[in-house]
Amino acid sequence: MKDRLKKIIPDSWLKAIRRLRQSRIVKKIQLLLLVKDDVTRFNASAFGLRKHQTYGNLISAITFHAHSIEKGLSHQNLRLGFGKKALAGLFSTLKTYKEGGYPLDDIRFQSGLSVIDEYIRIHNAHDFNIEETKIRFEPYRTLHTTAIGGTLDLRKEDILTATKGNFNDLVKMRFSTRDYSVQKVDVQLINQSIVTSMKTPSICNRQPWEVIVIQNKAIIDQVLTLQGGLTEHGSHLSTLLVVLSKGEYLMGPEERNQGYVDGGMFAMTLLYALHQNGLAVCPLNADFNRKIDRNLRTLLSISPHDSFIVMLSVGHYMESYKVPRSQRDDFSEITTYIL
Ligand SMILES: Cc1cc2nc3c(=O)[nH]c(=O)nc-3n(C[C@H](O)[C@H](O)[C@H](O)COP(=O)(O)O)c2cc1C
């Protein structure tokens, strides 16, 4: 059909059609349609937007609430009785999950139960009354079979030894570390890590990334207040990196998300480079509402063409510290084969 049409339509018309298809106006329409599809997909999928929660929604929501409690449990100055909102969210999601008839040996479900179990144990040890939580946990106590959530105690020495090992050791002994020693970070170590990260692959080698290195304490505090993800952690934080992607380096509608891919890959290389250079790092989300986005852009003089990818808080390790366990799924659950 296409070939027959090509024979009937005059050459000049075909050229005009080709030109139109390559025109900016058509590309802008394609962009709108792709963005519309993005919005439809996200709206139909995300657990914060859907009314009826799927299995995927429920296990992710369990992890979301449980992680917030794990973070609280790993805090240096434990604030007894913390996390009422996260506990309410966790109990409510666990209940929907259980009533949905989903598997009770699921890693995420078990991890959620373990977090509450550790929460109760720690409060018992401090003789702090959390009767309501204990009562709510009672129906789940016998379902809790695997202790895979909560916190881990780490030692600087073990982490630094692992960074000298092979890639597997390096990866396995990397944990998001949120509190730091008083030792300031030498900017040369940051620069070295950025140099290593420049080797990150990117679309057509366009390298659409940028890093802002902040070592001014007053600015770090202002950024963290707006970012909001390191509350009650971040002691002695002296260095904050902001990773951006440059919209000007991208081309057409199909590349609308490419800055997040390349920027994310760059950020991951940077995270490992910092880790291998013996620095303690935590990625911090850069998912802002419009007001915070505007305020941060003004504060840090960020171009309107650039997008936030992620921030990295960086410091030196304390001798010993706690981190959330952040249990991972089994690889078989995320892998399919087409053989
Ligand atoms: C994009 C991104 C954003 C994150 N944002 C935050 C944050 O705002 N606050 C925080 O304490 N941790 C944050 N984290 C760290 C995660 O909680 C952590 O990576 C996860 O629990 C896995 O633990 P691990 O890094 O120790 O293996 C973020 C991680 C990523 C990758």
Query: What tens digit of pLDDT does each residue of 92-128 get?
Result: 999 999 999 999 999 999 999 999 999 999 999 999 9
pLDDT > 80? residue 197: yes
110 domain residue, yes or no: no
Q: Which residues pair with 313 in a beta bridge?
A: 240, 282
How far apart are the CA of 151 and the centre of ligand 1, in A?
14
281 domain residue, yes or no: yes
How far apart are the CA of 282 and the centre of ligand 1, in A?
6
Pocket, ligand 1, Cβ cutoff 6 A: 67, 71, 175-176, 178, 229-230, 282-285, 310, 323-324, 326
- Of ligand 1's listed atoms, the one at least distance from the Cα of 233 is 11
The amino acid present at 320, given as its one-letter code, is: S
Q: Whose CA is nearest to atom 15 of ligand 1?
A: 283
290 domain residue, yes or no: yes
Mean pLDDT of all residues in the chain? 96
Q: Whose CA is nearest to atom 19 of ligand 1?
A: 176
Q: Whose CA is nearest to atom 13 of ligand 1?
A: 284
- Assign residue 304 the CATH number of its domain: 3.40.109.10
36 domain residue, yes or no: yes
Lowest mean pLDDT among 14-28, 165-179, 272-286: 14-28
Q: Whose CA is nearest to atom 20 of ligand 1?
A: 326
What share of the chain in percent tops pLDDT 70? 100
pLDDT of residue 235: 83
Q: What is the pTM of this model?
A: 0.95
3-class SS at 245?
strand
269 domain residue, yes or no: yes
pLDDT > 90? residue 8: no
Helix axes 107-125, 131-141, angle to 10 degrees: 140
120 domain residue, yes or no: no
Torsion of CA 246, 251, 254, 259, to 10 degrees: -10
66 domain residue, yes or no: no
pLDDT of residue 282: 97
pLDDT > 80? residue 185: yes
Domain holding 302, by residue range, is: 178-316
3-state helix, strand, coil in the chain (%, to 5): 55, 10, 35
Nearest-angstrom CA–CA distance, 46 and 61: 10
- Of ligand 1's listed atoms, the one at least distance from the Cα of 229 is 8
Q: Whose CA is nearest to atom 25 of ligand 1?
A: 176
pLDDT of residue 213: 98
How far apart are the CA of 283 and the centre of ligand 1, in A?
5
Query: What tens digit of pLDDT does each residue of 24-68 get?
Result: 999 999 999 999 999 999 999 999 999 999 999 999 999 999 999
Domain total of the chain = 2
112 domain residue, yes or no: no
